[in-house]
Structures are given as structure tokens and as C-alpha cells.
Amino acid sequence: MQILILGSGGREHALAWKISQSPLCTRLFIAPGNPGTASLGQNLPLPVNDFEAIKAVCLQHQIDMLIVGPEDPLVEGIVDFFNQDELRQIHVIGPSAEGAKLEGSKAFAKEFMHEMGIPTARYKEFNADRFAEGVAYLRQHPMPVVLKADGLAAGKGVVIAQNTEEAIQALTEMIQDQKFGAASSKVVIEEFLSGIECSVFVLTDGKNYQVLPIAKDYKRIGEGDTGLNTGGMGAISPVPFADDVFMHKVKLRIIDPTMQGLIQRGISYKGFIFIGLISVAGEPYVIEYNCRMGDPETEVVMPRIANDLMPALLSLKEQKLDQELCEISPMHAATIMLVSGGYPEAYQKGKLIQGLELVEHCLVFHAGTRLDDGQLLSNGGRVMAITALGHTLTDALSTAKQNVQKIRFDQSYFRTDIGWEFE
Ligand code: AMP
Ligand code: GLY
């Protein structure tokens, strides 16, 4: 099979690493990819949102399967776009635009959860017409309070306000100043939940589903989970507190009703559902849905899938996932993200990366790199993810930590305390 993966980050490198090992994969393309994916297949310089260009490349290279990494093309309807005559035989991994609304519209996701009785923070939704009501609502709301722009805002659309003044300011910026354009013309205001988070990944054909390895990512820039939010500074899998008892609750209260909700609404969903959960005193609540895999979670999830992932992906088309289950390795995985100094605020690119050849017993997934005249240079905030496996979490973390230090570039930074709560 000829396979095309869309995207260019660590997530797509990890997907490419897994897919390229399958005997069913005869040729692998990644668009646009990165220098890491270039060693596993052929990179194609295409923007992930240019559906016409993607169509042309799929026909030219006789692509059989398209795996969509990031959310944007899904929310914009790439799955529906491929549901046209010349393209219909191409198997696209991802939900329809309607399914992708679980991520693309917070208001839609909240209403969906409310209707299905899925535990989540209590909320109300406001728009420009109801701005004054929103302010009044915030004035009587206990603090902290959470404000979420309805639409996609590149991971920046959530504000946790510590006091009423901050909350009103955030609401004003989102609705009146249109901080995120149309994405914040509607805002969800919800109660703040206190607990520990984890990421649950579900592969579904719209009828059957399978839970993939559970992971936890570390979003804050600073040690001990302090400072600004980032795209993710590291991840571990499995997650010690997400034991069988907890996961049983997740299945009964969250995954099963999510599947029922999709089926009841006639939503076609053949791809990954990423459920961001928070455990409040051992009870799971949904923080958010995403319509794709997580990054950097994929960098620990893929290495823990013990068998070929392709049969499971292929089975989604005919809704036969129940016959093609993935095997999950009992090993622990940890990944540490090496980032550019200054990230997630201003940072420099184009730094020479050295020491990769010294890395042992680890997988290195490129996130923001580029090749220039044979030299590997940094090309983003998150530069690369270093993943290690071990028989224990401590072993995996220790190998990842030892090796991340071997990769050097000017002003690089990484967190030394990924997994800190569990060691
Ligand atoms: P998101 O951009 O939706 O991933 O949200 C960013 C982060 O905000 C989440 O990972 C949580 O840490 C936090 N968050 C979102 N909603 C809530 C909530 N209701 N209570 C507490 N924290 C939240
Ligand atoms: N790691 C969180 C995300 O991918 O959204």
C-alpha cells in the first residue's frame, strides 16, 4: 500500500516510524514532513490545508491510505472532501467534519457531553449578543474560572482566570476584541476542576473501538509544572493513576456514551479520538476532546503498540476493528522534548544541532528541524522528542534523560522532571 501522512511534527514522525515498519506499507510519503520523516519515506512539500494539492498528489502517487495528523484539515473537512468520485477509494484516517467538531467547537463538545450525560465541568456559553450576561455570570462565578474560545485557536484559546477582573478582561478580549477572530465569537465559561490530567486515545471505526495506550503530557515550560503553557514538554505512558478501576469508569461513563452519541447523531468517525481527562478525587471528567492523536503523546503511544498498526487502520473502512485489535506492550515509555531557549515566547531558529550520533537506546522524533546543506538546524520551538522504553517508568525516564543531554544546540532547554509525580 502507498500511504501518505499529513503533518510535520513529532507526532507525524512517530506515526511514520510505526507505519514504515509494516509489511503492508510499500511506499510512504509525508507531507510536508521533516528531516526525521525523510529517513522513513519521501517528504512532499505540501501545506496540510491545501486539499486540491493533496488530491493531485494522491492521484499522482496512487495513494491508498491518507493518515491525517493535525486537527486543522479534519475540522476543515478533508474527510468529506475525499468522499468524491475519484478519491473515494482512498482510505482516509480521521473523522468527518461533523465528528471533528468535537475539537473544532467547544460549545458543540459541551452540548454533546451534556446530552449524553458525560461528566464534564458545568458551563454556559456566551456570544457578542449576550456579552453583558456573560459579565454578570462571571461576577457571581466562584474563582478560578475557565474561559474557552469556541473554535480552534492554536492551543491558546483557554484562559484560567484567578479573579473576576481577569475573567472579565479575558471575556472582553475574546468576544469584543475578537482576539482569536471568529474562533472566539462564542466563548464557553466553565467551572475550574482540580485534579490530575491524562490523555486517553481511542481508535474507532464509528461502531467498534479500541483504547490505545494511555499517556500523560507535561504542558508547562517549567520544572514542577510551573510557568507558561507549551505544546507539551514531555510525556509518559502508561499513567500510574489510570488503573483498571479508573479506566473502567472511563469506559462506562465516557467512552461508551461518546460512541453512542456519535452513532445517534449519524456522525461518521473513522479515526482517533483523544479524550483529555481530569481525575477529580478518582472520578474522571472530560476536559476536552480532540479529533486526532496528541503531540508529544504519540511519541510514547506508538512505541507501546506491540503489533502492526496497519491492519487495525485498514479495518476502519469496513467497520471491522473488532477483528483487528492492537496489542499493547507492558513496557513503560517516556519522552522528553528538547526545545529552543525562550519557547513558548520568542526564540531563535537556525541553531546547529549536534550530538545525535551519541544517542543510544532511544528513539529520536523530529518536531522542528530543517536540513541546510547537510547540516541539521533547529526550526521551531519544540525541536525534537527523545523517547525511551524501560521495564519501569524510572528506567524509561532515566534513559531518556541521559540521552537528551547528548543532543546540543545553542540555548536548548528541556525539563528534567517529566514524570515527577510518579517517581
Ligand atoms: P486545552 O487548550 O483545551 O487543552 O486546555 C488547556 C489546559 O487548560 C488543559 O490541559 C487543562 O490543564 C486546563 N483546563 C481546561 N479546562 C479546565 C477546567 N475546566 N478545569 C481545570 N483546568 C482546565
Ligand atoms: N499534547 C496535547 C495535544 O496534542 O493537544
DSSP 8-state code for residue 318? T
Distance CA 309, CA 326 (A): 7
Name the residue at shortest CA distance from atom 5 of ligand 2: 294
Quote the pLDDT of residue 181. Answer: 78
Neighbours of 397 (CB within 10 A): 26
- What ligand is nearest to the CA atom of residue 286? 1
| Domain range 2-96, CATH architecture | 3-Layer(aba) Sandwich (3.40)
Nearest ligand to the CA atom of 147? 1
Q: Which has the minimum average pLDDT: 36-40, 124-128, 404-408?
A: 124-128
Give the lowest-confidence range in 144-158, 192-206, 310-324, 352-366: 144-158
Q: Where are the domains of the chain?
A: 2-96, 122-191, 196-422
In short, whether 324's Cβ falls inside 6 Å of ligand 2 is no
Task: Decide: 117 in ligand 1 pocket, CB within 6 A.
Answer: no
Residue 319: alpha-carbon gap to chain centroid:
23
pLDDT tops 90 at residue 163: yes
Closest ligand by atom to 301 CA: 2
pLDDT at 155 over 80: no
pLDDT tens per residue, range 339-359: 999 999 999 999 999 999 999
Q: Does domain 196-422 have CATH number 3.30.470.20?
A: yes
Q: Are 162 and 144 in contact (CB under 8 A)?
A: yes
pLDDT tens profile 244-259: 999 999 999 999 999 9
For residue 309, give the C-alpha cell.
498498526
Q: Is the pLDDT score of 408 beyond 90?
A: yes
- State the CATH architecture for 122-191: 2-Layer Sandwich (3.30)
Confidence check: pLDDT of 177 > 90: no
Measured between alpha carbons, how far is 38 from 63 in angstroms, rounded to an integer?
A: 18
Q: What is the pLDDT of residue 182?
A: 81
Question: DSSP label at 11?
Answer: H
Which residue's CA lies nearest to atom 2 of ligand 2? 294
Q: How far apart are CA 74 and CA 84, in angstroms?
A: 16
